[in-house]
Homo-oligomer: A and B are copies of this chain.
């Protein structure tokens, strides 16, 4: 039994609905279908979820939102027309949305969640109607009826452990189950949504709960690429990667699938297959617990701008018990999370994502470290990019660092920082943001392209 989740672009039009139908019908193991809200049909299109958020915000301010409401309804109605469905389903969607919009607004966060959730919920109903229209036994299942119970954190729900056992019952329903992604219900019966791209989370939870053999995640790319295709043209596709590799790659910018969404599937040991709705015969990328490593040490190269570092030096720092802890304590008091802490003998650098800081906060932190820790020097360096080289094959490979650092040196890239040694499947390089592209290209050439470096 498989769980198949389809993203917004896979559900943006009648044509896309047809593709989904054909994909589901082509494999009798595809029992549970998780749907997102309709996404973009073309680059300048607006996603239904975004229309709904605007709608909800206007209602909260008592502003007229009729145009937006009609735009949302028309997205479903046009799909229904394209598929030759009766107007009954469009009318039902209209009524549902209007009912939710006229609901209780005393708790704005809860109201927004309820409005957002209609995007997926009505799309699931529409999909179920289409399957039935095609003469297939299929049913819409509501998360409440299925027992998908979540914590009461609007916009950031966490699944409660007791849900899994109840969800297992879905296996016993006859026919195909069409399940809306993105939201669950609190114990009191209120709608709460997951964080953004929460339909991936729903799919992962259902795969875990129903003990599926595979979680298929249909999106609009053929595979996860070994490097950002905006930096390297037509990069090698990754056929298979481990959860750990995926996690390390997501960390520095791989965005195909949010790594937190994978946790329920990961914990249940269920492999995930990322596939393309628009090219379903392509094998896609499989995320597994273990893989054979035949193809060289590196599977992917990720990079991300947007880091900065706080450099602190103090003579004889390393004799002072508690120094590092005290710096981390100061950061913690401001709710800042740090990424890495490379250190010399008498100096330490703390690498953070720079979107957490602002000039006033920076000054406050620098002052506190200087005075409370009597540091000799404290300075903030901005515009750092982190580059991750990831691969399970590195465990057994002696020369990977030599190859990587030589490739960077030959490309004239200065390595600001190296963090290697804790993870066995990755190496991390810090470079100046302006060197990021050059560094990634040099590393890609070294580990993937069958061409000599430095031509």
Interface residues of A (CB under 8 A from B): 247-248, 251, 260, 263, 266, 311, 315-316, 318-322, 324-325, 328-329, 332, 335-349, 398-399, 401-402, 405-406, 408-410, 412-423, 426, 428, 430
Contact = CB atoms under 8 A, between A and B. Distances in A.
B426 A344 contact: yes
Contact of A321 (B337, B341, B421, B423): B337
Contacts of A316: 260, 263
11 contacts: A247-B345, A247-B346, A263-B316, A311-B422, A341-B343, A343-B419, A349-B422, A399-B405, A402-B410, A415-B421, A417-B422
B315 A338 contact: no
Q: Which of A260, A319, A336, A421 has the most CB of B within 10 A?
A: A421
Q: Which of A248, A347, A423, A426 has the most CB of B within 10 A?
A: A423
A347 to B, nearest CB: 5
Given A398-B409, A417-B421, A426-B345, A325 B321 contact: no
Contacts of A263: 315-316
Q: How many copies does the complex hold?
A: 2
A318 B344 contact: no
B336 A321 contact: yes
A402 B320 CA distance: 33
A436 to B, nearest CB: 16
A96 to B, nearest CB: 35
Contacts of A417: 420-422
A448 to B, nearest CB: 19
Given A324-B328, A325-B329, A341-B324, A398 B421 contact: no
Contacts of A340: 342-343
A302 B416 CA distance: 22
Contacts of A311: 422
A421 B322 CA distance: 21
Contacts of A329: 325
Contacts of A320: 337
Contacts of A319: 337
B318 A322 contact: no
A382 to B, nearest CB: 15
Q: Which 9 A-B pairs have the closest CB atoms?
A: A344-B423, A417-B421, A325-B328, A399-B409, A342-B421, A402-B406, A402-B405, A402-B409, A401-B405
Nearest to A320: B337
Nearest to A430: B421
Nearest to A322: B332
Contacts of A341: 324, 341, 343
Nearest to A349: B422
Contacts of A325: 325, 328-329, 332
Given A251-B318, A337-B318, A337-B319, A422 B332 contact: no
Given A325-B325, A341-B343, A419 B421 contact: yes
Contacts of A418: 401, 418-421
